[in-house]
Amino acid sequence: MPLAAGRGVEWHLMATRRPAAVLMPIYDGPGGPTLLFIRRTMGVNHPGQVAFPGGRPEPGDAGPVATALREAREELGIDPALVRVVGTLPTVETITSNYAITPVVGRLAGRPPLRLQDSEVAAVLDVPLAALQGPGLPLEEDWPLPLPGERLPPPSSVPGGVGLHGTEVRRVRFFPWGGDKIWGATERMVEQLLDALRSGKLPLS
């Protein structure tokens, strides 16, 4: 899995996708290295879904790392000076929102002081990496369409199947955490992160 240095990373995008970047903040918690997620409010894109802080680039951003750090500061109040960028993961593309997202992995010594952006962030989830590496994870289920927080797209554009009584379904991979499910693009980023850690390509020390 290719990992890029934090400075001078280029946007690797398909021409039809919109660029975005997220920060995957990892801090040393009581249960070991711990990822910070957000749960989106109901008034934004992908309402109620679990995600990482992030968004679209602005004109002053010098690449995806700058975008991810700026967005994490805006959404969670994380001071960029507390974040040591250890690399980026391969771009993750979304179907319904049409984004090409660069995941930026950031290391923090401890849980940073947080200031949630009320309009976008409903809650913060602190998930130890060990909880994402249990046997049988991620889980898989058939979910009816539209998926939570998404509109129903045309049937011809959806990879998946048709269930009982003509109900369209999609096979979804997810990590459970309490009453939340980490799925979609965020789940794919977590899988990439865990693969990079297992292979030793992404050092956290």
Tens digits of residue pLDDT in 44-97: 666 789 999 999 999 999 999 999 999 999 999 999 999 999 999 999 998 778
Average pLDDT value for residue range 96-108: 93
Model pTM? Answer: 0.84
In this prediction, residue 167 has a pLDDT band, given cuts at 50, 70 and 90, of low
11-20, 68-77, 121-130, 172-181, range with the lowest pLDDT: 11-20
Half-sphere exposure of 139 (CA within 13 A, CB side): 11
C-alpha dihedral sign at 5, 6, 8, 14: positive
Question: Which domains are seen in the chain, by residue range?
Answer: 18-133+180-199 (3.90.79.10)
Which residues, in sequence order, are CB contacts of 171 under 8 Å at separation 6+? 140, 141, 142, 160, 161
- Euclidean distance between CA atoms 100 and 54, whole angstroms: 12
